[in-house]
Structure 1
Amino acid sequence: MKKFTSIFSILLLMTHFGFAQEESLKEEIKALSKAKWQWMADKDADKLAELFDDKSVFVHMGGSWGKEREVNIIRSGGIWYKKADIHEVSVEIIDNTAILLNRITLLAEVGGNEVTNPFEVTEVYIKKADGWKLGSLSFTKLMGPGDR
């Protein structure tokens, strides 16, 4: 019985440690996403270029493209992500991949025009040797009743 109790205690501790570690990773991803929104508002293209994986993809209402174009659009002010009001955030970890969902209201300047839109934003992060890299950023405009 002592052996069973010891094994059960070890398994319980391992489960608790694994849960705590996953929660810590989720908080790390949430903080990284929040920093990304600030860098976008600040038009800090250099920090964003470090965060974006070389193979990253970006999906907007007007099309999709890769890292170089996204960084250049931000640098030039073609899209200025002025402020993202974040209403809900969730994160799921699958192996070395984190999927973050943000429900936001985005104030942006696009082609010189200020616009506000409600979005569900999907961010996919991949854990690499040098840290987390953003692999995909997709904006889905919300259209239904009750959307922010």
Structure 2
Amino acid sequence: MAYKLSILVPKGEWITSNGPAGRLHWAEKARRTRRLRERAGWEARRARIPAMPRARIDAYIHGRFRRRVDPANTYPTVKALVDGLVDARVLPDDDSRHLDGPHMYTGAPDRDMREGWHRVTLIITPMVYLADEDDADEQVAA
């Protein structure tokens, strides 16, 4: 069974790999990262997502309008959200033994969102191993 979290991210917390939000002062980036981790942790607790030993995470990035977007540039924001899932004890860690992903995609536009905001939809799918834990090719969805 997959779990879905839809997290609204205000403009003041958005972090990208490029553009002005990618060239933040270290203290501002740390503040935004901390807020994103807290936001994801609270959302996971509110949705009662259970602890799982391994998972695949697909992240859909939604803006207000459909336009050319490189979802990989949102990695700093998505990484902070995944760290929040670890903080909430959904996953034991976000290393490759416990996490497949995050895989990032462009999501459908949401014209009702406030200007400058984004929505990140995380699909969290529990994973199991069929064979030796060191063989990543043997991972499958639970």
Larger Rg belongs to: 1
Structure number with the bigger relative contact order (C-alpha 8 A, sep ≥ 6) is 2
Does the pair score TM above 0.5?
no
Higher strand fraction: Structure 1 or Structure 2? 1
TM category (shorter chain) comes to 0.3 to 0.5
Q: TM-score, normalising length from structure 2?
A: 0.33
Which one has the bigger helix percentage?
1
> Structure 1 length normalisation: TM-score?
0.32
